[in-house]
Amino acid sequence: MATYVVGDLHGQVRILEGLLEKISFSPGKDHLVAVGDVIDRGENTGDLLRFLFSGARDGWFSSVMGNHEEVLLGHLKNPKSHPLCTDPEFGGKKTLEALSRSSDKKDLIHWISSWPLFMEKSEYIIVHGGLPSVQGSRMGDTDLCSKRMEPITGYHTCLWVRPPKLCPSYDGRIVISGHSIVPQAGLVQDGIILVDTGCYRTGKLSTIRLEDRSTFEYQGYPR
């Protein structure tokens, strides 16, 4: 059994299918973890959500929360307080349109709302943006993920932080994040791996296999 952590998907279901085929992913044996930002921007967000929802029920897929999911959930509760969701650059309208056409809308929203802020493995911490820093240090702590909020927006800092504010975990575990686009997935500084290669824009989707830290990529055509 292998565990793969995949970068921000943003609705690119066909590119994900290409990557899974390339790595010979076996739903019966392997597990896929997304670093969040599964939704928005892509034309096929609805198809991707249903594909992964099925994968979650079958036990081969899970995801941490991304900043795009956080904004969506806030918008669904109070649209006026979360205008970012419908900003053209943010791309949330694609998801809202897909959900409006879905017969299982309530199930999908409930599922997305269950995604955790971070996921812990024996040697790894998976979080969308990065770990908030312990005050007075350059080290991060998972305990702060639920507590540290952005002062203006009130969103969780761990879903929005970017370089140069990325912090390694104080306990020595490797932090794996998306959110910040890099040319190649891999180690960007001691204790931090970034896996988002901008699939919705570049067509390149990347993943890392946790067992041996091998990285794989698939080049497709974003829609």
Instruction: Report how far residue 1's alpha carbon sits from residue 209's, in angstroms, rounded to the nearest whole number.
Output: 11
pLDDT tens by residue, 9-28:
999 999 999 999 999 999 99
Structure tokens at 59: 């036990």
Contact 130, 175 (CB under 8 A): yes
Where do the H-state alpha helices sit in 62-214? 67-77, 92-100, 105-113, 199-202
pLDDT, tens digit (0-9, with 9 covering 90-100), for 189-201: 999 999 999 999 9
Sequence-distant (≥ 6) Cβ neighbours of residue 164 within 8 angstroms: none
Residue 175 contacts by C-beta under 8 Å, 6 or more apart in sequence? 124, 125, 126, 127, 130, 131, 140, 166, 167, 168, 169, 191, 192, 193
Kindly report the pTM of this predicted structure: 0.96
- Residues 144-169: tens digit of each pLDDT: 999 999 999 999 999 999 999 999 99
Q: Is the pLDDT of residue 81 over 90?
A: no
Domains, the chain, with CATH or none: 3-219 (3.60.21.10)
User: Number of C-alpha atoms within 13 angstroms, CB side, residue 82?
Assistant: 19
170 φ/ψ angles, rounded to the nearest 5 degrees:
-65, -25
CA dihedral 150, 154, 158, 159 (to 10 degrees): -120
